[in-house]
Amino acid sequence: MIKKQRNINFGAALLFVIFCLLFFVLFFRFIYIQATGTVEGQVLAEKAENKYTGATTIEAKRGTIYDRNGEVIAEDKSSYSLIAILRKTMTTDKNDPQHVVDAEKTARELAKYIDLKESTILKIIRDGQKDDRFQVEFGSAGRDLTVETKKKIEKLKLPGVSFTRNMKRFYPNGIFASHVVGFTETKEAKNHQTVTTGKLGIEKLLNDELTGKNGAFQYESDVWGYLLPNGEEQITPAQDGKNVYLTIDRKIQILLEDAMNKANKEFSPKKIIGIVADAKTGEILAMSQRPTFDPETRAGIEKSWYNEAVETSFEPGSTMKIFTLAAAVEEGVFNPNETYQSGRYVVDPRSKAVPDHNGGRGWGTITFLEGVQRSSNVAFAKLANEKIGFDKFREYISLFGLDKPTGIDLPNETGGKIAYHYAIEKATTAFGQGTAITPIQQVQAATAVANKGQIMQTHVVDRIEDPKTGATIKKSEPKVVGTPISESTAKQVRDYLETVVTAENGTGHNYAIEGYPVAGKTGTAQIPGKGGYLSGSGNYIYSFLGMAPKDDPKLIVYVAVQQPNLEKNPDGSVPVANIFKSVMKNSLQYLQIEPSDQKPIEAVTLPKVTDLAVTEAEEKLAVLGLKPIVLGNGTRIMKQIPAANETLLPGERVILKTDGKLTAPDMTGWSFRDVMKVAELAKMKLNSTGSGYVSKQNVVSGAALKAGEHLIVELQNPSAAAAKSNDEAEETEGIEMKVKDQ
């Protein structure tokens, strides 16, 4: 009995000690929490506040990218995705169903507004019901719906049919300087918010400036999350991204895109590169390439991730001779009337002789000016070696900036690769072989010849603005980055280069433009392959670097076409010339540069004709030499494209929307940009096939134009006149050189 009592006492004492320890642990835990206000690193006050506080993200808008004249190139717009709720538990009131009740009716009605067949929509809904899915979506056909389409579907009051809203990056011009502008990619972050990031071009380079900062709306709520009537609210406004204005001119860019489309269709080359620059400021007015891609859909991006004008260097061919000639003139060693023996030139007895491009036959004893006109490799090798001197010529390569990146405001720029160790390399560099440089390096260097000897920094960003205040945050000003030659040298070089186009023996006959004297140089560069250079018809990079008007250049245009299909026309300069002449001439006319032998083309300032009677508006535009195109059978003008105060050339179309039912005009022979105006006014989805000008349209003339429906046009190139053959055109401008060790 005593032993049992002792055990009970011991047990009681043990329990007392345990409870005392637990009490002290809880007591000290309570004191710690009271003193620090935290539990396992979590602030209790914050947790309590979060329990009774709701928050909604206010999404910031990504900055808009404009051209130099304020035309939208890339912008954020609201778009909507269609969904259908299938889960029956979402309906709590039978009189107000929140799920799809009648699948057949839903499919039948939706098929009227999205690009899917009724049977396909019904299958999507049925499959979702079978799999007991909460909701279903309708693929690409149900995404990116406009506000107008959303409203039309909402009016149907279909149970279970709903929408999700999101911001989408919109590129209204389609394929338009795609590698310059770039594109964005949207992904979901860990906090379930979406993050948009620029992946190429300006979108990537200025991603931080374009990206805004999301805001928030915070409010007090009860335990069920409902807003308290007298609760406190706190709004943190979203900060939209900065707006970026480019130096790109939309109209000149469209001229370049159209010309490249035509050449691409007709000659099917491996690549095309085109650049248009302001000769006085270095501003890039247009830049494009083929292959290219659609920045909105990414279609074609797998063919070319690189901006060929900036990120790829290659042997320039004879366009390099512009800078060799400039160096010789600046050094005072170029005598246009001095003669030399063309054909072949031995630079180093241990290396093969430099041959002229006609197989080394040459043209006998000719002057150095004729050597420039005929693009003689021997002439330029002799100038670099015997007249300028290889060491001095190397200095000029640096002075023209051909051995380093230009610093243009585009991502991933590469620099030139100057091969200048052996004597034969120094000689071939003088006529553009063996050394690799980028197109943008050539264009920037050419500004010295066009602009009184001063090299102007090339750039594509004009300014960055605050979207709220319109204040300029950053502005690019014309910048001189070198003066390799004098103003008088620049003028002489332009005079010599003009003869490349005009002289009987010149290689640039195809590049002559009526009314605008052109100074420039042709190029036919070989392409390195396995074990040497590629051979065979068309296996070259044909190019032209030119400026106009010659006496006071306004524009510099560079075009390169790699490996075109020359079955129909063996002259490789034709596709290059077709692009150059079209872009240069039309751009000069658009800029109101007066032709030397023609009356000036006077531009017209477009008046405001909205709210006017149709007949009055037509008369007002016709007097100015413009072509009014009226959409609809109304009596008054409701909207016009282009807008009032824009500058147009006589003969341009002005699309007018009336207050009546819209009908389709006959668009045969129209440019694609004019069709875009119709689609915009009619709020239709525009699609096209081919390139060139309209040959067919899916909505016949006079038929109703319905918002949200597709407007499809087929484009074709007009029959091109056969290009004048050029017996003196360059055949090949380089040879494979085997160099022995020295």
Q: Which two tokens stand for residue 404?
A: 């380093």
Phi, psi of 400 (to 5 degrees): -80, 0
CA dist 526 and 534 (Å) reads 7
- Is the alpha carbon torsion for 174, 178, 181, 183 positive or negative? positive
**If we measure between CA atoms, which residue out of 505, 144, 510 comes closest to residue 342?**
505
What is the separation of C-alpha 66 from the centre of its chain, rounded to a whole number of angstroms? 12
CA dist 508 and 321 (Å) reads 14
Catalytic (active site) residue 318 = yes
3-state secondary structure of 687: strand
Q: Nearest 5 degrees, angle CA 331-CA 336-CA 339?
A: 110
Q: Report which DSSP code applies to 635.
A: S
The answer to whether 317 and 544 are in contact (CB under 8 A) is no
**Strand 540-548's sheet: what is its strand order?**
284-290, 271-278, 555-562, 540-548, 519-526
Phi-psi region of 401 (alpha: psi -120 to 50; beta: other; left: phi over 0): left
CA dist 128 and 61 (Å) reads 34
Q: Which of 81, 318, 375, 376 is catalytic?
A: 318
3-state secondary structure of 36: helix
CA dist 542 and 448 (Å) reads 23
Q: How many residues comprise the chain?
A: 742
Q: Around 584, how many Cα atoms within 13 Å sit in the side-chain half-sphere?
A: 32
Amino acid type, 202: I
- From first CA to last CA, the distance across the chain in angstroms is 116
The verdict on whether omega for the bond into residue 484 sits within 30 degrees of 0, i.e. cis, is no
Q: Which two tokens stand for residue 402?
A: 């051909």
CA dist 289 and 282 (Å) reads 19
CA dist 84 and 368 (Å) reads 77
Q: What does each C-alpha distance from 677 to 192, 278, 282, 690 come to in angstroms? A: 39, 28, 31, 19
- Is the alpha carbon torsion for 113, 118, 124, 127 positive or negative? positive
Q: Which two tokens stand for residue 118?
A: 């009724």
Catalytic residue numbers, as ranges: 318
